[in-house]
Amino acid sequence: MSAATPLALVADGDGVVRTAVAGLLTRECGVDRVIEAASLDEALMLLDEHAGIRFAAFDLAIPGIGTPLNLRSVREVFPDIRIAVTGGNGRRDEIFQALQASLHGYLPRAFGPSEVAAAFRHVLAGGVFVPPSLADLPLPSEAAASFEPSRAISAGVRLTPRQQDVLRLIRSGKSNKEIARTLGLTENTVKVHANALYRALGVRDRTGAAQRADLP
C-alpha cells in the first residue's frame, strides 16, 4: 500500500469482532482511524456523514445484508469506497455474488487474523481479493441465491424489513427525502435500500416498484 488510508469503517454486529478488525486495520494495514457500526443502517449513515472513508468492511451476518449482492447498491451510491465482505461461507456461488456486486474483497469466516490483514492490504492497495482456494471449489448449484431471512411478501420475492418499509412509503407517494425523514435515515441510506429493493423486485425504478400489483 503506497499511502495511509485516513479513515475506514468496520460494520459487524459483534462488538468484540469489530474491535479486533479495527485493530488489524490500524496496526497492520496503514489505516489511521476506524469507525465502527453495529448495523447496516448505522454503517450507511456513517458513510454518508464521513466523506473521508475510503475502505469499509461489512460482515455478511449483519441483518439487511445476508448475501453479497445486497451490497451492490452500496457500491453504486458510494463508488469511491473500497468494500470488502467478511464472514462468508466460502462457497463458489457466494464468491461470485461478491464479484457480481463489484465488491473489492471476499473473506471467508475461516480466515485467521494474518489472512484477514493480508486480504485487507491487497484491497487497500487497489486489488480485488478472492480466496486462492476458489479454483478448487465445486461448481455452484443452480439454486437461486437467498436474501436475508425475512417474511416473503409474494411468491418468489423476499425483502428485508427495511426494504419493506421503503416500498410501503414509495407506494404512498413519498419522495426519498420524505422517506428519510419518516424513517430517521439519510437520503443516501434510503437510496441504497431503494436500489436493492428495485433489484429484488426486478424493476427499474420507484414507479415499477409501486406498480407491482402482486405485492400486498
Residue 155: is its pLDDT beyond 60? no
Share of the chain above pLDDT 70, in %: 86
Pairing, β 53-59 against β 105-108: unpaired
Q: Where are the domains of the chain?
A: 5-136, 152-210
CB crowding 131-160: b at 16 or more within 10 Å, else e: beeeeeeeeeeeeeeebbebeebeeeebbb
Q: How far apart are CA 66 and CA 145, in angstroms?
A: 10
Residue 143: is its pLDDT beyond 50? no
DSSP letters spanning the chain: --S-EEEEEEE-S-HHHHHHHHHHHHHHS-EEEEEEESSHHHHHHHHHH-TTEEEEEEETTSTTTSSGGGGHHHHHHSTTSEEEEEEE---HHHHHHHHHTT-SEEEETT--HHHHHHHHHHHHTT--B--GGGGGSPPPPSSPPP-SS--EEETTEE--HHHHHHHHHHHTT--HHHHHHHHT--HHHHHHHHHHHHHHHT-SSHHHHHT-TT--
The fold of 152-210 is Arc Repressor Mutant, subunit A (1.10.10)
- The CATH class of the 5-136 domain is alpha beta
153-157, 158-162, 166-170 — which is least confidently predicted?
153-157
Contact 162, 197 (CB under 8 A): no
Task: Identify the pLDDT of residue 29.
Answer: 96
Establish whether domains 5-136 and 152-210 are of one fold: no
Q: Which residue(s) pair with 10 in the sheet?
A: 36, 57
Residue 38: is its pLDDT beyond 60? yes
Task: Identify the pLDDT of residue 149.
Answer: 39
Average pLDDT rounded to a whole number, residues 126-144: 71
Residue 148 banded pLDDT, cuts 50, 70, 90? very low
